Structure 1
């Protein structure tokens, strides 16, 4: 297995060289960072990995095949695990070039002494801090620039919200949450400390009293996908809630579940299934609806109700259909992605559902500059061609059921695209419910 990991590193490094020196020679001289990104995107698509994971592997491969060939040899011979290799590479950052080989040798000797990857990580870090204390400031500055907040969906209607912060600040926040939780327990609160830390953090960020402590999700005002959380149990907003920003969410629920006839799971855009009880709590505050008609047997989308302002309704539908950026492997939420014409508007592309898709800013740039090419062979199904000539297909989060004309190709004019889009009155006229359509 370790030998195979070493071969993968060699191939990944070779891919980077091919993209930089052969396939994208001119761009490689102009912008080596861009050619690295394009090579990593191709590797991610081939290996079915997230882009950032492929970037990390390709970056590791570049170091192993250039400055850390001894470490690569140890991996190939099976004396090192990939966890040990990553520790060597991490702790070698900012070490003076003239001293890098000797420092790598010292690390490898320590790794060979029967250390697990976790044990080796701790000892290697101590060795690094002792040998090169002057690099701490530079490394901390680099790490500080990577601070961020992450949202990761979990099971059973829960998600992880985490933040990468300065160590001292993170420790202070955690200590304050723990102190507050212990105080609540001392006052008679029956919740566990872990529960209290989470609830107190949510209360502070929401700026009001939490609504979801009974095991459900927090309620809130929904304005056609816009949520303004922070209602108290009586449904009245306090001053803090009035001052808070409105946030957009999208919930897909069928009529039977909405009115309590069944308990089918409901789709929370950007997360996945949530309980029907939670969805009804959100829906009770809804001010506007966009009707979506589904096939009763397959739950596939048949058509979407129109609104007076068609572009806004079409945008909502595309956000629900795509879910995320439509580039292979990308999971950037459609809410923060950009709508793009698959066939450019300047080249005759139409503004309809079968010529639009969501792309994050980065992948939008890749397509606009012609590195990756996209085609919608059928509505919502996008075929991508990479700079290396490989093809990949991405499917929408929600699918469409073809109209009668699609099932009968001999039908006149074959208006399947219009029938599926829901924005044109093909066949029987449909009602326009204006700004406040009822749910379907």
Structure 2
């Protein structure tokens, strides 16, 4: 049903009819999720290294168990192509395939329920992931214990809690080993997700230590009521934490509780009301002024890099200025549906340097090491017709266009497609129809 037709149909529905429509669509979504899970298992079957013809066995492609130890093996990069078709990363597809394989080989009751439409695929997948470290016998016991409640009848958090308890009961030794490992997992760090100029300090330790520290913050905050009469409770708690961690900190909020020494990279343009704090997100120019005035002890203005000029060097190594230009053109991993935004990734020569490819902005793209290996060894091809516009071709002929807005599939797979012709570097030319 076309979107416009559906909107007209919904507009004419009664309240009961809208509810019935939503219920039907929800059922269809659950059915589709089950079907995709079954397809993921079949994809694993098709990519068993033993099932591939000898001519198709890539010398550099390793095979690993698709799921838990003891499950059938699957070729290393098979998940990448499947993931692109369902608009997820190779990592996400690998997890999906692992869950499907474990359900078939280790959790038969849940798998039977999925196929019969009685178990939700999301619940079955959660059990598969939670039991991956258990033996086959232990996983089978959990399977029988939770299959009845895996139909969505429980709130998700309640279902998680039950599964967690059953997994611990199935293997007390493993549960204890995890507790001992957790006891050593203490840290204080800043979270990765920061918005509107704010950040989160994570303090991870034993519950008793956390509760004691929280009580200390509360007590100090109580003592600041006379000094900070107009502050909220949370503002006093922040000031209290600053005092406990830095006795020389100011408690006057107009000055700021702490003046730490940190480096913040801000990207600003004169005609925009928004700046970008690298690694954190957008900020208003007004907040940038506040940030600089209150906290910055040193402001360093970097020269603007002209991204319209394709910088190049006559060497394989990538200098810092060129690396910065590539990062500005491609702020994230250029593999289809990839999520990584870190600078700590590989810069790939899309046409290899050894085959005549240049070390320039129009032939470099950031990728994680996993995606880089997929591109090198698994039959994927990539071109950058313009800086910032990347086109991938998967091993089955589908094309994906990646730009700063994300990933789009731009062609349909056709079995009768004319084989691509090699370019002057001996690599296949990628052709795609952007109107497809």
Question: Does the 8 A contact of 1:2 with 1:81 survive in 2?
Answer: yes
- Relative to 1, partners in 2 of residues 1:26 and 1:343: Cα closer, same or farther, differing over 3 Å? closer
Q: 1:351 aligns with which of 328, 348, 359?
A: 359
Question: Does the 8 A contact of 1:328 with 1:392 survive in 2?
Answer: yes
Q: 1:266 aligns with which of 249, 270, 275?
A: 275
Shift of residue 84 of structure 1?
A: 3.1
Shift of residue 104 of structure 1?
A: 1.6
The 5 A counterparts of 1:15-414 are: 15-21=43-49, 22=52, 25-26=57-58, 30-32=62-64, 38-98=77-137, 100-109=139-148, 111=150, 114-139=153-178, 151=191, 153=193, 156-158=196-198, 169=206, 172-173=209-210, 175-177=212-214, 179-188=216-225, 189=228, 209=249, 231=259, 241=261, 247=263, 249-255=264-270, 264-280=273-289, 281-282=291-292, 285-292=298-305, 302=308, 311-369=319-377, 371-396=379-404
Question: Does the 8 A contact of 1:327 with 1:363 survive in 2?
Answer: yes
SS of aligned partner of 1:254: coil
Q: Which deviates more, 12-21 or 132-141?
A: 132-141
- Relative to 1, partners in 2 of residues 1:397 and 1:103: Cα closer, same or farther, differing over 3 Å? closer
- Relative to 1, partners in 2 of residues 1:347 and 1:50: Cα closer, same or farther, differing over 3 Å? closer
* Partner Cα distance (1:256, 1:68) in 2: 58
- Relative to 1, partners in 2 of residues 1:211 and 1:344: Cα closer, same or farther, differing over 3 Å? farther
Q: What whole-Å deviation, never above 9, does each CA across 1:143-195 have from its counterpart, x for those lacking one?
A: 899999795546545466668x6xx5366346524532442233225655655
Question: Does the 8 A contact of 1:3 with 1:77 survive in 2?
Answer: no
- Relative to 1, partners in 2 of residues 1:382 and 1:175: Cα closer, same or farther, differing over 3 Å? farther
* Partner Cα distance (1:384, 1:208) in 2: 55
- Relative to 1, partners in 2 of residues 1:144 and 1:39: Cα closer, same or farther, differing over 3 Å? farther
1:6 aligns with 2:23: no
- Relative to 1, partners in 2 of residues 1:202 and 1:16: Cα closer, same or farther, differing over 3 Å? farther
* Partner Cα distance (1:56, 1:12) in 2: 10
SS of aligned partner of 2:105: coil
SS of aligned partner of 1:66: helix
* Partner Cα distance (2:124, 2:179) in 1: 21
- Relative to 1, partners in 2 of residues 1:46 and 1:139: Cα closer, same or farther, differing over 3 Å? farther
Question: Does the 8 A contact of 1:290 with 1:313 survive in 2?
Answer: no
Aligned residues: 354
* Partner Cα distance (2:134, 2:185) in 1: 20
Unaligned 5+ residue runs, structure 2?
1-28, 67-73, 313-317, 407-436
- Relative to 1, partners in 2 of residues 1:26 and 1:84: Cα closer, same or farther, differing over 3 Å? same
Please tell me the root mean square deviation across aligned C-alpha atoms, in Å: 4.4
* Partner Cα distance (2:152, 2:87) in 1: 35
Shift of residue 349 of structure 1?
A: 1.5
Question: Does the 8 A contact of 2:191 with 2:201 survive in 1?
Answer: yes
* Partner Cα distance (2:338, 2:247) in 1: 32
Shift of residue 64 of structure 1?
A: 1.6
Unaligned 5+ residue runs, structure 1?
219-229, 233-240, 258-263, 294-300, 399-440
- Relative to 1, partners in 2 of residues 1:96 and 1:321: Cα closer, same or farther, differing over 3 Å? closer
Question: Does the 8 A contact of 1:269 with 1:320 survive in 2?
Answer: no
Question: Does the 8 A contact of 2:347 with 2:364 survive in 1?
Answer: yes
SS of aligned partner of 2:401: strand
* Partner Cα distance (1:19, 1:212) in 2: 64
Q: What whole-Å deviation, never above 9, does each CA across 1:352-396 have from its counterpart, x for those lacking one?
A: 211122222222233344543221122221112234443222114
- Relative to 1, partners in 2 of residues 1:113 and 1:254: Cα closer, same or farther, differing over 3 Å? closer
- Relative to 1, partners in 2 of residues 1:57 and 1:205: Cα closer, same or farther, differing over 3 Å? farther
